[in-house]
Amino acid sequence: MPFFRKPDSKRHTREWQYYRSVPFTRLWTLYAAVFCLFAITGFFGDMLNTGRTPYVIAILNAICSGFVALMYLHVGTRLHPKYFIVATLIQIPLWLGFGATASLLSTRFHLQSVNSASGVRFAGILTLALVILSYSLFIRFLRGEGQEAVKIRNELELAHSIQKTLVPPIQLRTLQFELYGRSDPSDKVGGDLVDVLQLEDGSTVAYIADIAGHGLQAGILMGMLKTAARTALLDGCPTEPHTVLPSLMERLNKVLPGVKEPQMYATFAGFRLNPDGSLFYALAAHPPILHYRPHQQVEHLTVEQFPLGLLPVTGFSAKTTLMAPGDMLIAVTDGILEACNKSEDEFGVARLQELIARHTNDSLPATADAILDAARAFGQQTDDQTLLLIRRL
Protein backbone atom coordinates (compact mmCIF):
# COMPACT_ATOMS: atom_id res chain seq x y z
CA MET A 1 0.00 0.00 0.00
CA PRO A 2 2.52 2.69 -1.08
CA PHE A 3 -0.18 5.29 -1.58
CA PHE A 4 -3.90 5.67 -2.16
CA ARG A 5 -5.51 6.80 -5.40
CA LYS A 6 -8.09 9.47 -4.78
CA PRO A 7 -11.62 9.04 -6.14
CA ASP A 8 -12.26 10.84 -9.45
CA SER A 9 -15.94 11.38 -10.24
CA LYS A 10 -16.99 11.46 -13.84
CA ARG A 11 -17.80 14.85 -15.26
CA HIS A 12 -21.37 14.04 -16.32
CA THR A 13 -22.13 12.71 -12.83
CA ARG A 14 -20.95 15.96 -11.23
CA GLU A 15 -23.07 18.00 -13.63
CA TRP A 16 -26.12 15.83 -12.98
CA GLN A 17 -25.66 16.20 -9.21
CA TYR A 18 -25.28 19.97 -9.62
CA TYR A 19 -28.54 20.43 -11.51
CA ARG A 20 -30.36 18.21 -9.03
CA SER A 21 -29.22 20.53 -6.25
CA VAL A 22 -30.47 23.69 -7.97
CA PRO A 23 -33.84 24.73 -6.43
CA PHE A 24 -36.78 24.81 -8.82
CA THR A 25 -37.32 28.48 -7.94
CA ARG A 26 -34.24 29.15 -10.09
CA LEU A 27 -35.25 26.80 -12.88
CA TRP A 28 -38.92 27.59 -13.48
CA THR A 29 -38.11 30.39 -15.93
CA LEU A 30 -35.93 27.96 -17.92
CA TYR A 31 -38.76 25.41 -17.97
CA ALA A 32 -41.26 28.04 -19.10
CA ALA A 33 -38.91 29.36 -21.79
CA VAL A 34 -38.28 25.87 -23.19
CA PHE A 35 -42.02 25.12 -23.17
CA CYS A 36 -42.81 28.27 -25.14
CA LEU A 37 -39.95 27.71 -27.57
CA PHE A 38 -40.94 24.17 -28.48
CA ALA A 39 -44.67 24.86 -28.42
CA ILE A 40 -43.95 26.79 -31.61
CA THR A 41 -43.51 23.45 -33.43
CA GLY A 42 -47.23 22.80 -32.97
CA PHE A 43 -48.16 25.98 -34.83
CA PHE A 44 -45.40 25.34 -37.36
CA GLY A 45 -47.11 22.07 -38.20
CA ASP A 46 -50.36 23.99 -38.69
CA MET A 47 -48.66 26.37 -41.13
CA LEU A 48 -47.29 23.39 -43.06
CA ASN A 49 -50.93 22.32 -43.31
CA THR A 50 -51.63 25.79 -44.83
CA GLY A 51 -53.39 26.88 -41.65
CA ARG A 52 -56.40 24.58 -42.03
CA THR A 53 -56.06 22.84 -38.66
CA PRO A 54 -58.88 23.79 -36.25
CA TYR A 55 -57.71 26.32 -33.67
CA VAL A 56 -58.33 24.01 -30.70
CA ILE A 57 -56.36 21.15 -32.30
CA ALA A 58 -53.48 23.50 -33.19
CA ILE A 59 -53.30 24.78 -29.60
CA LEU A 60 -53.47 21.23 -28.22
CA ASN A 61 -50.65 20.20 -30.58
CA ALA A 62 -48.54 23.12 -29.34
CA ILE A 63 -49.15 22.15 -25.69
CA CYS A 64 -48.12 18.54 -26.37
CA SER A 65 -44.97 19.69 -28.20
CA GLY A 66 -44.01 21.95 -25.30
CA PHE A 67 -44.71 19.15 -22.80
CA VAL A 68 -42.38 16.75 -24.67
CA ALA A 69 -39.60 19.36 -24.54
CA LEU A 70 -40.19 19.83 -20.80
CA MET A 71 -39.98 16.09 -20.27
CA TYR A 72 -36.54 15.89 -21.88
CA LEU A 73 -35.39 19.00 -20.02
CA HIS A 74 -36.50 17.54 -16.71
CA VAL A 75 -34.62 14.30 -17.40
CA GLY A 76 -31.50 16.26 -18.38
CA THR A 77 -31.50 18.45 -15.28
CA ARG A 78 -33.16 16.48 -12.48
CA LEU A 79 -33.00 12.77 -13.32
CA HIS A 80 -30.39 10.25 -14.39
CA PRO A 81 -29.55 10.18 -18.14
CA LYS A 82 -30.86 6.61 -18.39
CA TYR A 83 -34.39 8.06 -18.18
CA PHE A 84 -34.00 9.56 -21.66
CA ILE A 85 -35.07 6.13 -22.93
CA VAL A 86 -38.19 6.29 -20.77
CA ALA A 87 -38.97 9.79 -22.05
CA THR A 88 -38.68 8.58 -25.63
CA LEU A 89 -41.03 5.67 -24.96
CA ILE A 90 -43.56 7.94 -23.25
CA GLN A 91 -43.93 9.89 -26.48
CA ILE A 92 -45.66 6.92 -28.15
CA PRO A 93 -48.77 6.89 -25.93
CA LEU A 94 -48.65 10.69 -25.69
CA TRP A 95 -49.00 11.26 -29.43
CA LEU A 96 -51.45 8.37 -29.79
CA GLY A 97 -53.52 10.03 -27.11
CA PHE A 98 -53.24 13.36 -28.90
CA GLY A 99 -54.50 11.80 -32.13
CA ALA A 100 -57.41 10.14 -30.36
CA THR A 101 -58.29 13.36 -28.50
CA ALA A 102 -58.13 15.41 -31.69
CA SER A 103 -60.42 12.93 -33.44
CA LEU A 104 -62.85 12.90 -30.51
CA LEU A 105 -63.01 16.70 -30.34
CA SER A 106 -63.52 16.98 -34.07
CA THR A 107 -66.37 14.47 -33.95
CA ARG A 108 -68.06 15.68 -30.78
CA PHE A 109 -67.88 19.40 -31.50
CA HIS A 110 -67.98 19.15 -35.29
CA LEU A 111 -64.71 20.98 -35.74
CA GLN A 112 -64.14 22.08 -39.30
CA SER A 113 -61.01 23.12 -41.14
CA VAL A 114 -60.53 26.87 -40.87
CA ASN A 115 -59.91 29.33 -43.63
CA SER A 116 -56.33 28.98 -44.83
CA ALA A 117 -55.47 32.68 -44.61
CA SER A 118 -57.03 33.03 -41.15
CA GLY A 119 -55.33 29.86 -39.92
CA VAL A 120 -51.88 30.95 -41.11
CA ARG A 121 -52.41 34.38 -39.56
CA PHE A 122 -53.49 32.77 -36.26
CA ALA A 123 -50.47 30.43 -36.19
CA GLY A 124 -48.08 33.22 -37.16
CA ILE A 125 -49.32 35.58 -34.44
CA LEU A 126 -49.05 32.91 -31.73
CA THR A 127 -45.62 31.84 -33.03
CA LEU A 128 -44.34 35.40 -32.77
CA ALA A 129 -45.85 35.78 -29.29
CA LEU A 130 -44.23 32.55 -28.10
CA VAL A 131 -40.84 33.58 -29.53
CA ILE A 132 -40.99 36.92 -27.69
CA LEU A 133 -42.17 35.25 -24.48
CA SER A 134 -39.52 32.52 -24.59
CA TYR A 135 -36.81 35.12 -25.30
CA SER A 136 -37.95 37.18 -22.30
CA LEU A 137 -37.96 34.11 -20.06
CA PHE A 138 -34.49 33.04 -21.23
CA ILE A 139 -33.16 36.54 -20.49
CA ARG A 140 -34.69 36.42 -17.01
CA PHE A 141 -33.19 32.98 -16.38
CA LEU A 142 -29.74 34.08 -17.58
CA ARG A 143 -29.83 37.22 -15.46
CA GLY A 144 -30.65 35.16 -12.39
CA GLU A 145 -27.91 32.65 -13.12
CA GLY A 146 -25.52 35.51 -13.83
CA GLN A 147 -26.16 36.94 -10.38
CA GLU A 148 -25.53 33.52 -8.84
CA ALA A 149 -22.34 33.15 -10.89
CA VAL A 150 -21.05 36.54 -9.74
CA LYS A 151 -21.82 35.64 -6.14
CA ILE A 152 -20.01 32.31 -6.46
CA ARG A 153 -17.07 33.94 -8.24
CA ASN A 154 -16.69 36.48 -5.44
CA GLU A 155 -16.80 33.71 -2.86
CA LEU A 156 -14.19 31.72 -4.80
CA GLU A 157 -11.94 34.76 -5.08
CA LEU A 158 -12.18 35.19 -1.32
CA ALA A 159 -11.46 31.49 -0.84
CA HIS A 160 -8.50 31.78 -3.23
CA SER A 161 -7.03 34.62 -1.19
CA ILE A 162 -7.48 32.54 1.96
CA GLN A 163 -5.80 29.63 0.16
CA LYS A 164 -2.75 31.77 -0.64
CA THR A 165 -2.60 32.86 3.00
CA LEU A 166 -2.89 29.30 4.31
CA VAL A 167 -0.50 27.70 1.81
CA PRO A 168 2.13 30.22 0.74
CA PRO A 169 5.40 29.03 -0.80
CA ILE A 170 7.75 28.08 2.02
CA GLN A 171 11.50 28.70 1.97
CA LEU A 172 13.74 28.14 4.95
CA ARG A 173 17.49 27.74 5.53
CA THR A 174 18.91 26.28 8.73
CA LEU A 175 22.49 25.45 9.67
CA GLN A 176 22.17 21.98 8.16
CA PHE A 177 19.29 22.08 5.68
CA GLU A 178 17.63 24.15 2.99
CA LEU A 179 13.88 23.73 2.36
CA TYR A 180 11.49 24.88 -0.34
CA GLY A 181 7.83 23.96 -0.78
CA ARG A 182 5.06 25.10 -3.08
CA SER A 183 1.45 24.15 -3.80
CA ASP A 184 -0.43 25.04 -7.00
CA PRO A 185 -4.16 24.18 -6.81
CA SER A 186 -6.03 22.99 -9.88
CA ASP A 187 -9.05 25.12 -8.90
CA LYS A 188 -9.35 28.39 -7.05
CA VAL A 189 -9.11 26.37 -3.84
CA GLY A 190 -7.05 23.23 -3.39
CA GLY A 191 -6.71 20.46 -0.85
CA ASP A 192 -2.91 20.14 -0.85
CA LEU A 193 -0.80 21.55 1.96
CA VAL A 194 2.89 22.16 2.50
CA ASP A 195 4.12 23.65 5.76
CA VAL A 196 7.25 24.08 7.86
CA LEU A 197 7.61 24.91 11.53
CA GLN A 198 10.67 25.48 13.70
CA LEU A 199 10.38 24.10 17.22
CA GLU A 200 11.83 25.46 20.44
CA ASP A 201 14.49 22.73 20.64
CA GLY A 202 16.03 23.96 17.39
CA SER A 203 14.61 21.21 15.22
CA THR A 204 12.41 21.78 12.17
CA VAL A 205 9.27 19.90 11.13
CA ALA A 206 8.21 20.07 7.49
CA TYR A 207 5.36 18.13 5.95
CA ILE A 208 3.25 17.80 2.85
CA ALA A 209 -0.39 16.62 2.94
CA ASP A 210 -2.94 15.84 0.26
CA ILE A 211 -6.67 15.87 1.01
CA ALA A 212 -8.67 13.42 -1.11
CA GLY A 213 -10.38 15.44 -3.82
CA HIS A 214 -9.97 19.11 -4.59
CA GLY A 215 -12.04 22.24 -4.52
CA LEU A 216 -13.68 24.11 -1.67
CA GLN A 217 -14.52 21.07 0.49
CA ALA A 218 -10.95 19.77 0.36
CA GLY A 219 -9.64 23.31 0.94
CA ILE A 220 -11.66 23.68 4.13
CA LEU A 221 -10.40 20.36 5.48
CA MET A 222 -6.86 21.34 4.49
CA GLY A 223 -7.13 24.48 6.63
CA MET A 224 -8.37 22.39 9.56
CA LEU A 225 -5.47 19.96 9.13
CA LYS A 226 -2.90 22.76 9.15
CA THR A 227 -4.40 24.26 12.31
CA ALA A 228 -4.49 20.87 14.03
CA ALA A 229 -0.90 20.07 12.97
CA ARG A 230 0.51 23.36 14.21
CA THR A 231 -1.42 23.07 17.47
CA ALA A 232 -0.11 19.55 18.02
CA LEU A 233 3.49 20.56 17.27
CA LEU A 234 3.50 23.70 19.41
CA ASP A 235 1.46 22.33 22.31
CA GLY A 236 2.88 19.33 24.08
CA CYS A 237 5.36 18.19 21.46
CA PRO A 238 7.18 14.98 22.55
CA THR A 239 10.79 15.41 23.63
CA GLU A 240 12.06 12.26 21.91
CA PRO A 241 12.93 13.15 18.30
CA HIS A 242 11.76 9.82 16.85
CA THR A 243 8.28 10.21 18.42
CA VAL A 244 7.46 13.68 17.04
CA LEU A 245 6.09 12.59 13.65
CA PRO A 246 4.23 9.48 14.91
CA SER A 247 2.63 11.54 17.67
CA LEU A 248 1.59 14.21 15.15
CA MET A 249 0.03 11.59 12.86
CA GLU A 250 -1.82 9.98 15.79
CA ARG A 251 -3.29 13.36 16.75
CA LEU A 252 -4.37 14.16 13.21
CA ASN A 253 -5.90 10.72 12.74
CA LYS A 254 -8.04 11.29 15.84
CA VAL A 255 -9.03 14.87 15.00
CA LEU A 256 -9.92 14.60 11.30
CA PRO A 257 -12.83 12.09 11.49
CA GLY A 258 -14.91 14.57 13.51
CA VAL A 259 -14.58 17.41 10.98
CA LYS A 260 -14.91 15.71 7.58
CA GLU A 261 -17.13 13.58 5.37
CA PRO A 262 -16.65 9.82 5.90
CA GLN A 263 -15.05 9.22 2.49
CA MET A 264 -12.44 11.96 2.85
CA TYR A 265 -8.92 11.40 4.12
CA ALA A 266 -5.43 12.88 3.91
CA THR A 267 -2.13 11.41 2.74
CA PHE A 268 0.92 12.70 4.58
CA ALA A 269 4.69 12.91 4.26
CA GLY A 270 6.55 14.50 7.16
CA PHE A 271 10.14 15.24 8.14
CA ARG A 272 11.81 16.05 11.44
CA LEU A 273 15.12 17.79 10.76
CA ASN A 274 17.44 17.82 13.75
CA PRO A 275 20.09 20.47 14.51
CA ASP A 276 22.85 17.84 14.24
CA GLY A 277 21.93 17.06 10.61
CA SER A 278 20.04 13.81 11.27
CA LEU A 279 16.41 13.44 10.27
CA PHE A 280 13.33 11.30 10.64
CA TYR A 281 10.63 10.82 8.03
CA ALA A 282 7.13 9.33 8.06
CA LEU A 283 4.56 8.54 5.40
CA ALA A 284 0.83 7.85 5.50
CA ALA A 285 -0.38 6.42 2.16
CA HIS A 286 1.71 9.03 0.34
CA PRO A 287 3.82 8.47 -2.79
CA PRO A 288 7.41 7.47 -1.94
CA ILE A 289 9.96 10.11 -1.02
CA LEU A 290 12.87 10.30 -3.44
CA HIS A 291 16.32 10.43 -1.85
CA TYR A 292 18.67 11.82 -4.48
CA ARG A 293 22.41 11.37 -4.03
CA PRO A 294 24.67 12.90 -6.70
CA HIS A 295 26.15 10.25 -9.02
CA GLN A 296 24.24 7.45 -7.26
CA GLN A 297 20.97 5.62 -7.78
CA VAL A 298 17.89 7.37 -6.42
CA GLU A 299 16.46 5.65 -3.34
CA HIS A 300 12.71 5.41 -2.72
CA LEU A 301 11.83 5.95 0.94
CA THR A 302 8.53 4.32 1.90
CA VAL A 303 6.59 3.57 5.06
CA GLU A 304 3.40 1.57 4.52
CA GLN A 305 0.77 3.16 6.76
CA PHE A 306 -2.91 4.04 6.41
CA PRO A 307 -3.97 7.56 5.39
CA LEU A 308 -5.01 10.00 8.09
CA GLY A 309 -8.64 10.31 9.09
CA LEU A 310 -9.90 7.22 7.27
CA LEU A 311 -9.68 4.44 9.88
CA PRO A 312 -9.29 4.48 13.69
CA VAL A 313 -5.82 2.91 13.58
CA THR A 314 -2.82 3.55 15.83
CA GLY A 315 0.83 2.64 15.83
CA PHE A 316 2.16 5.16 13.32
CA SER A 317 5.94 5.06 13.02
CA ALA A 318 8.83 7.04 11.58
CA LYS A 319 12.14 6.01 10.08
CA THR A 320 15.51 7.66 9.88
CA THR A 321 17.92 8.15 7.01
CA LEU A 322 21.33 9.73 6.53
CA MET A 323 21.89 12.63 4.18
CA ALA A 324 25.32 13.64 2.97
CA PRO A 325 26.04 17.22 1.87
CA GLY A 326 24.39 17.82 -1.49
CA ASP A 327 21.78 15.09 -1.00
CA MET A 328 18.17 16.03 -1.68
CA LEU A 329 14.79 14.69 -0.55
CA ILE A 330 11.85 15.20 -2.90
CA ALA A 331 8.24 14.71 -1.79
CA VAL A 332 5.43 15.35 -4.28
CA THR A 333 1.68 14.76 -4.40
CA ASP A 334 0.05 12.52 -6.98
CA GLY A 335 -1.15 15.57 -8.90
CA ILE A 336 2.37 15.67 -10.33
CA LEU A 337 3.03 11.96 -10.69
CA GLU A 338 -0.38 11.19 -12.23
CA ALA A 339 -0.46 14.04 -14.76
CA CYS A 340 -1.49 12.33 -18.01
CA ASN A 341 -0.73 13.16 -21.62
CA LYS A 342 -3.08 12.53 -24.55
CA SER A 343 -1.97 8.89 -24.68
CA GLU A 344 -3.00 8.45 -21.02
CA ASP A 345 0.63 7.94 -20.00
CA GLU A 346 1.44 9.26 -16.52
CA PHE A 347 4.30 11.64 -15.76
CA GLY A 348 5.54 9.11 -13.23
CA VAL A 349 8.49 8.70 -10.91
CA ALA A 350 11.01 7.87 -13.64
CA ARG A 351 10.54 11.23 -15.40
CA LEU A 352 10.73 12.99 -12.05
CA GLN A 353 14.05 11.30 -11.27
CA GLU A 354 15.51 12.29 -14.65
CA LEU A 355 14.40 15.87 -14.09
CA ILE A 356 15.97 16.04 -10.64
CA ALA A 357 19.27 14.73 -12.03
CA ARG A 358 19.35 17.51 -14.64
CA HIS A 359 18.69 20.25 -12.09
CA THR A 360 20.70 19.00 -9.13
CA ASN A 361 22.93 22.10 -9.12
CA ASP A 362 20.06 24.59 -9.43
CA SER A 363 18.49 26.44 -6.53
CA LEU A 364 15.55 24.72 -4.90
CA PRO A 365 13.00 27.26 -6.25
CA ALA A 366 14.40 26.78 -9.76
CA THR A 367 14.22 23.00 -9.38
CA ALA A 368 10.61 23.25 -8.17
CA ASP A 369 9.69 25.44 -11.14
CA ALA A 370 11.30 22.93 -13.50
CA ILE A 371 9.30 20.03 -12.00
CA LEU A 372 5.95 21.84 -12.12
CA ASP A 373 6.55 23.22 -15.61
CA ALA A 374 7.51 19.77 -16.90
CA ALA A 375 4.41 18.15 -15.36
CA ARG A 376 2.11 20.74 -16.94
CA ALA A 377 3.86 20.51 -20.29
CA PHE A 378 3.42 16.74 -20.15
CA GLY A 379 -0.33 16.84 -19.47
CA GLN A 380 -3.13 19.15 -18.41
CA GLN A 381 -3.29 19.85 -14.68
CA THR A 382 -6.41 18.18 -13.28
CA ASP A 383 -5.35 17.92 -9.64
CA ASP A 384 -3.50 20.03 -7.10
CA GLN A 385 0.27 19.86 -7.60
CA THR A 386 2.46 20.23 -4.53
CA LEU A 387 6.08 19.49 -3.73
CA LEU A 388 8.57 19.77 -0.89
CA LEU A 389 12.33 19.82 -1.52
CA ILE A 390 14.94 19.40 1.23
CA ARG A 391 18.68 19.69 0.57
CA ARG A 392 21.48 18.94 3.02
CA LEU A 393 23.95 21.80 3.06
pTM: 0.69
Q: Convert the pLDDT of each residue in 24-81 to its tens digit.
A: 888 899 999 999 999 999 999 889 889 899 999 999 999 999 999 999 999 888 887 8
Quote the pLDDT of residue 1: 42
* Angle formed at CA 113 by CA 110 and CA 119, multiple of 5 degrees: 130
Domain ranges in the chain with CATH number 3.60.40.10: 168-392
From the number of C-beta atoms within 10 Å of its C-beta (0-12, 13-18, 19+), residue 315 rates as: exposed
Of the candidate ranges 3-7, 88-92, 169-173, 366-370, the one whose mean pLDDT is the lowest:
3-7
Of the candidates 215, 194, 211, which has an alpha carbon nearest to the alpha carbon of residue 267?
211
14 three-class SS = helix
* Residue type (1 letter), 268: F
Side-by-side strand order, sheet with 279-284: 192-198, 204-211, 266-273, 279-284, 319-321
CATH 3.50.50.60 for domain 168-392: no
Of the candidate ranges 117-131, 222-236, 241-255, the one whose mean pLDDT is the lowest:
222-236
Sign of the dihedral through C-alpha 91, 93, 96, 98: negative
pLDDT above 80 for 348: yes
Quote the pLDDT of residue 3: 52
364 vs 361 pLDDT, higher one = 364
267 within 8 A of 213, measured Cβ to Cβ:
no
**Using 50, 70 and 90 to split pLDDT, how confident is the model at 166?**
confident
Of the candidates 209, 247, 162, 169, which has an alpha carbon nearest to the alpha carbon of residue 333?
209
Q: Convert the pLDDT of each residue in 230-263 to its tens digit.
A: 999 988 656 688 899 999 999 999 999 998 888 8
